[in-house]
Amino acid sequence: MGSSSDMRYFNWLVLLVQLLGVVSVVITAVWMGHFQGGFAWTEDPAREFAYHPLFMVIGMIFLYADGILAYRVFRNDRKLYIKILHASMHVAALIFASIGLKAVFDSHNLPKEPLPNLYSLHSWLGLLVVIGFGLQWVIGFASFLLPWAGMTLRTMYMPYHTFWGVTLLILATATALMGITEKALFGKPANGYDKHSREGTLINCLGLILVIFTGVVVYLVTKPEYKRQPAPDEEHVPLDN
Amino acid sequence: MGSSSDMRYFNWLVLLVQLLGVVSVVITAVWMGHFQGGFAWTEDPAREFAYHPLFMVIGMIFLYADGILAYRVFRNDRKLYIKILHASMHVAALIFASIGLKAVFDSHNLPKEPLPNLYSLHSWLGLLVVIGFGLQWVIGFASFLLPWAGMTLRTMYMPYHTFWGVTLLILATATALMGITEKALFGKPANGYDKHSREGTLINCLGLILVIFTGVVVYLVTKPEYKRQPAPDEEHVPLDN
């Protein structure tokens, strides 16, 4: 089952992605937990907001990306198992994203003086990304896991599935950068963002780490040498890329 | 010289990119010229700022992208001419970006009460993108236009040149989205951003148009069928992708 491609650096880059992913989740948790007053649920809507950045980073960036990478990392396992893993990780991503969205709407709607919803570019693009991700999941499940879809349809849809998968991951990261920018500016001047405060430097680093994370993931999944080679007894269409 | 690839939709997508590019420049000009009080030079630093978004969108997004597309659009012309066109459009992009950067630094430094510089994620990522773009230009010029570099070096460097070219274009767009977010929030509540004002809706649409613009450009330059086919009498290495 071994691949004849040039796999140099592959394992190191996957390891780097995991490290950057964990670090970005930890920084988001420290930002919300330490600098922004901690986590709460509906009894304290201002602190319920804390789950929004944390769960969106876990779901729409870390789990989303690792679900894509499953095809590269488990390259020698049976195709069907990888498909199920890929789909399951993205269900988990959707669950985190849904709770993350509930947290931000609650934090706007539950206070005695509610805040307006869905006016910012962050909210517009973010909602489009989550809806697009959900649609991709449904169409992907119907095409690649349900038995009715034939090879012709699968082969036709595959390039669009991968293009939109990578595109929506990049847009999720761009949305996170806008979210960081919003939260940083809402907190001024108390958070000292315009005075190069520790909190400000930390969240700028979070933004750069998310950019590097997504950049390495996109590199890993688009580099032709890293593509999974179908085993000789598998389907003869390139469903793995 | 004709290509045997499937070029369906190519011309329409290039036309769409040009339309979206012009529309985004016009919206930026209307935003700054009509809603934000117009343009001025160093005698009025607050209005000198207006050149920052306008020139960054023209240089780092529109001209940057069209310079990349030159290889696809002028696919049947002599390679050297396209190279010179590509390099020249990116010099123009760098000139616009430099004036755009001067405008924002002036708008921070020239007022009687100067504003702090380089504290936001937008400024960090934006500066990295412009520096990265300048480095790409210098390394690209030295490798592909100066005669000393051999074919081996050119073939080795090419995938990195294209990867970084596309990556930096995407990051330039992400930086623009953060810039739109910053300017929108700085202007609250006067601009009515949180009340779905006309200005707010306009700049959210600007952000979405920039996303679609960059998405279509990346699709055009990464789709294998749209790649330029080298003419039989050209170099035998795939320098054109």
Are B193 and A119 within 8 A, CB to CB?
yes
Query: How is residue A193 written in tokens?
Result: 């963002």
Compute the distance between CA of residue A52 and CA of residue A50 in angstroms, rounded to an integer: 5
Nearest to A121 among B125, B196, B204 (CB): B204
Q: Please report the sign of the dihedral spanned by the C-alpha atoms of residue A67, residue A68, residue A73, residue A77.
A: positive
Query: How is residue B6 written in tokens?
Result: 């499937």
- Enumerate residues 157 to 196 of chain A having a beta carbon within 8 A of any beta carbon in chain B: 163, 167, 170-171, 173-174, 177-178, 180-182, 184-186, 193-196
Please tell me whether the interface predicted TM-score (ipTM) of this complex is above 0.90: yes
DSSP for A114-153, written as a single string: PPP-S-SHHHHHHHHHHHHHHHHHHHHIIIIISTTS-HHH
Q: Are residues B174 and A172 in contact, defined by beta-carbon separation less than 8 angstroms?
A: no
* Interface with A, mutate which of B166, B177, B213 (most A CBs under 10 A): B177
Compute the distance between CA of residue B215 and CA of residue A31 in angstroms, rounded to an integer: 31
Query: What's the rounded mean pLDDT across residues B4-18?
Result: 89
The shortest C-alpha distance from B53 to chain A (Å) reads 16
- Considering only CA atoms, give the Rg of chain A: 20
* Interface with A, mutate which of B169, B181, B197 (most A CBs under 10 A): B181
Are A124 and B196 within 8 A, CB to CB?
no
- Residue B239's pLDDT band, with cuts at 50, 70 and 90, is very low
Chain B residues whose beta carbon lies within 8 Å of the beta carbon of residue A218: 167
Q: Provide the Cα torsion B75, B78, B84, B87; round to 10°.
A: 30
Give the model's pLDDT for residue A84: 97
DSSP for chain B, written as a single string: ----S--TTHHHHHHHHHHHHHHHHHHHHHIIIIIS-----TTSHHHHTTHHHHHHIIIIIIIHHHHHHHHHHTTTS-HHHHHHHHHHHHHHHHHHHHHHHHHHHHHHHSSSSPPP-S-SHHHHHHHHHHHHHHHHHHHHIIIIISTTS-HHHHHHHHHHHHHHHHHHHHHHHHHHHHHHHHHHHHTTTTT-GGGT-HHHHHHHHHHHHHHHHHHHHHHHHH-GGGSPPPPTTS-SS-TT-
Compute the distance between CA of residue A154 and CA of residue B129 in angstroms, rounded to an integer: 38
Are A124 and B204 within 8 A, CB to CB?
yes
Chain B residues whose beta carbon lies within 8 Å of the beta carbon of residue A120: 181, 184, 193, 204
pLDDT in tens, A97-118: 999 999 999 999 999 999 999 9
Count Cα neighbours of A154 within 13 Å in the Cβ-side half-sphere: 18
Give the model's pLDDT for residue B231: 62
Q: Is the pLDDT of residue B166 over 90?
A: yes
Q: Is the pLDDT of residue B140 over 80?
A: yes
- Residue B236's pLDDT band, with cuts at 50, 70 and 90, is very low
Are B119 and A194 within 8 A, CB to CB?
yes
Cβ contacts of A86 within 8 Å, gap of 6 or more: A67, A68, A70, A71
Compute the distance between CA of residue B136 and CA of residue A36 in angstroms, rounded to an integer: 39
Give the model's pLDDT for residue B2: 42
Compute the distance between CA of residue A205 and CA of residue A177 in angstroms, rounded to an integer: 11
Stretches where chain A sits below pLDDT 70 are: 1-5, 231-241
- Residue B233's pLDDT band, with cuts at 50, 70 and 90, is low
pTM comes to 0.94
Nearest to A122 among B181, B196, B203 (CB): B181
- Residue B154's pLDDT band, with cuts at 50, 70 and 90, is very high
Give the model's pLDDT for residue B8: 87
Give the model's pLDDT for residue A3: 45
